[in-house]
């Protein structure tokens, strides 16, 4: 099994806030991330596809096609956006990295199978900061 990864970048703002809670509880749980005026991050998304290399191309997946797919289906919808207000696939959901990476998986997993004969989505790693990231394996 070979694992191939592509890293993409986007900038976005969000706030962590549960509308069912009081302002005090939101601040207690989320701290400055509950800031009423949002806060932003320089996100890094690492998409890993696993599979056996195609004997004719030597590729598990064509990385140019993978990059185009990620940009069209995910990055263009997130970059320079407010995750709470501008992103249709997060509507009604908490804009945490954990929820975001699950929703990205739902978008990419079936589409990767369309562009690779042998590859499938193995994992997503989403860096919110250089020290904080979430990883999801579907």
Q: Of residues 14, 97, 122, 128, which has the active-site annotation?
A: 128
Say whether 41 is catalytic.
no
The pLDDT value recorded for residue 44 is 98
Task: List, in sequence order, the alpha helices (H) in 39-116.
Answer: 63-70, 76-78, 97-115
**128 given a catalytic annotation:** yes
Annotated active-site residue in 28, 39, 52, 80 = 80
Which residue in the list 8, 33, 44, 103 is annotated as catalytic? 33
Average pLDDT over residues 111-127: 96
Determine contact, residues 82/14, Cβ cutoff 8 Å: yes
For residue range 42-91, what is the model confidence (pLDDT) as tens digits? 999 999 999 999 999 999 999 999 999 999 999 999 999 999 999 999 99
- Is 33 among the residues known to form the active site? yes
Share of the chain above pLDDT 70, in %: 100
Beta-carbon contacts of 105 under 8 Å, excluding residues fewer than 6 positions away, are 121, 124, 136, 138
- For residue 4 the two structure tokens come to 């191939």
Residues 6+ apart with CB under 8 A from 19: none
Q: Which of 10, 18, 91, 96 is nearest to 45 (CA)?
A: 10
pLDDT attached to residue 135? 98
């Amino acid at each position: 099994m070979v694992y191939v990864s592509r890293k993409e970048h986007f900038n976005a703002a969000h706030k962590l806030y549960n509308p069912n809670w009081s302002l005090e509880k939101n601040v207690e749980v989320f701290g400055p991330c509950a800031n009423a005026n949002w806060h932003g991050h320089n996100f890094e998304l690492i998409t890993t596809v696993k599979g056996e290399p195609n004997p004719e191309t030597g590729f598990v997946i064509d990385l140019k096609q993978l990059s185009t797919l990620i940009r069209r289906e995910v990055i263009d919808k997130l970059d320079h956006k407010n995750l709470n207000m501008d992103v249709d696939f997060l509507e009604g959901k908490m804009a945490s990295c954990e929820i975001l990476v699950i929703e990205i998986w739902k978008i990419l997993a079936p589409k990767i199978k369309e562009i690779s004969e042998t590859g499938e989505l193995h994992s997503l790693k989403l860096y919110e900061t250089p020290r904080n990231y979430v990883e999801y394996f579907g």
